[in-house]
A and B are shown apart, each in its own frame.
Chain A
Amino acid sequence: GQQVMQIPQYQHVQEGEDFTTYCNSSTTLSNIQWYKQRPGGHPVFLIQLVKSGEVKKQKRLTFQFGEAKKNSSLHITATQTTDVGTYFCAGISGGYNKLIFGAGTRLAVHP
């Protein structure tokens, strides 16, 4: 069945450093979504990528969808303490909109 792998599992950075998390799917995806979960909270939607090779930006966040629609990345430039949390990718494949999440990358930012 569909599997979504995400690395790294943890990342510790100093405030101001960049951060990247990578997501890989075992199957071709219809689209990929990214969510952020603050400590003690619930996942909150950040963005969806649909097209092969698509790149989207949200302020300091850059999201990419691979050409084969099997991988994606999230890059944060100049991290801030407000970026702390766990970032999840989630993929949809097939015709049933089954939303499968990766294991997430927990980001810690040290001031």
Chain B
Amino acid sequence: DAGITQSPRYKITETGRQVTLMCHQTWSHSYMFWYRQDLGHGLRLIYYSAAADITDKGEVPDGYVVSRSKTENFPLTLESATRSQTSVYFCASSDFGQGGTEAFFGQGTRLTVV
């Protein structure tokens, strides 16, 4: 089905472990974004990508790594998870550069670091 999907939906990991959150979109949107949502902070931009192989830091990039080898995928990796990275993570995509307007969000991944 067309759309944007995130996996897993829920994840519990231990401090210090590496974990990767997946994001896949079927629209061939050029832009993709990763946000984290914490109470009181709204949606904070972690990283974004304007196209395959083009990524840039957002507001809170420390401790995260992204890659975008294919247009449709934008994985987010926590290299060594910390409790402060417990959050709900949203991936979004948009075709801003091709006349598009809105960002479409995935269902989110709830990550707990213990």
How many contacts between A and B, using CB within 8 angstroms?
61
Classify chain A: how many residues form its interface, as a range: 20 to 34
Inter-chain contact A88/B43, CB cutoff 8 Å: yes
Chain B residue numbers with a CB within 8 Å of A90 are 43, 103
Closest CB in chain A relative to B44 CB, distance in Å: 7
**Residue ID in chain A nearest B108 by CB atoms:** A42
Chain B residue numbers with a CB within 8 Å of A48 are 101-102
Inter-chain contact B43/A97, CB cutoff 8 Å: no
Instruction: Check: B48 CB closer than 8 A to any chain A CB.
Output: yes
Closest CB in chain B relative to A21 CB, distance in Å: 12
Are A101 and B50 also in contact (CB < 8 A) when A42-B107, A45-B103 are?
no
Instruction: Check: B79 CB closer than 8 A to any chain A CB.
Output: no
Inter-chain contact A98/B48, CB cutoff 8 Å: yes
A residues in contact (CB < 8 Å) with B: 1, 6, 9, 33, 35, 42-45, 48, 88, 90, 92, 96-104
Question: Can you list 17 pairs linking A and B with CB atoms under 8 Å apart?
Answer: A43-B43, A43-B105, A45-B101, A48-B102, A88-B42, A90-B43, A92-B96, A97-B31, A97-B48, A98-B45, A98-B58, A99-B48, A101-B44, A102-B42, A103-B40, A103-B42, A104-B43
